Amino acid sequence: MTAVNAPLKLPAVKNLVSEAEWRARVDLAACYRLIALYGWDDLIFTHISAKVPGTEDFLINPYGLMFHEITASSLVKVDLAGNKLMDSPFDINPAGYTIHSAVHEVRHDVGCVLHIHTSAGIAVSAQKQGLLPLSQQSLFVLASLAYHGYEGVALNHDEKARLQADLGDKNFMILPNHGLLTAFGGIADAFLGMFILQRACEIQVMAQSGGAELIHIPQQILDGARAMIAGVMKTPQGMGGALPWPALLRKLDQQMPGYDQ
């Protein structure tokens, strides 16, 4: 086996960080692996960030690793200015920094930001009407959905202010011609939110492909769902991601173990 193909080995950082940070690292690494497991990754080119508990710093993927390779120890810790706070042989994705720091700077209620480029997500993002009220899944998204127009690859830091303004207090964002984003208080909620958003996009594309006239959910039901979901989101349970999260970790332990290293 050549050095190029040798298994990646990085020093463990568990004993160098707080227990709270280690737990966040394990859950974030698990989230990356789940994105890979569900086939929502895009080689090395999307990103998920999570705040280090009790700080304004955040963890993000090492630029160059596939999502199925990411471990708790390999995650890169940076401050809001993008400075690495621990030694790492990896840099971070510059576009990822722009998007994630923009959200973390102003949304102090958000502990995790998840951004992906799936085919179904980009397909819906390229439609002028965006996400349509065609499914029960779409109800949850439409209750807290924002859009941010495409400005090219997110390398211009001036875009941050516009992204912040467009996101406002919403939890879901569709980036036209680009992809999907969720922003929630915790990692489990951000993943569950993305699962629902991605599924809503898949359903929309599949429904449209049949060519038949589509049934839209009536506005009065949309309004009622928006009020109900807004109330639920204010409870300690939030999105409810904590319910499926242990089962998702068990699935990872069976199919893609090693994230907690």
More confident residue, 10 or 140: 140
For residues 116 and 96, is the Cβ–Cβ distance under 8 A?
no
Which of 196, 22, 238, 227 has the alpha carbon at shortest distance from 110?
A: 238
pLDDT confidence tier of residue 116, bands split at 50, 70 and 90: very high
Segment among 8-12, 62-66, 135-139 with least mean pLDDT: 8-12
pLDDT confidence tier of residue 3, bands split at 50, 70 and 90: very low
What is the three-class DSSP state of 95?
helix
**AA letter at 177:** N
Which pTM was predicted?
A: 0.94
d(CA 138, CA 238): 17
Per-residue pLDDT tens over the stretch 208-231: 999 999 999 999 999 998 888 877
Give Cα separations from 23 to 140, 215, 251, 260 (angstroms): 28, 44, 18, 9
Check residue 61 and report its DSSP letter. -
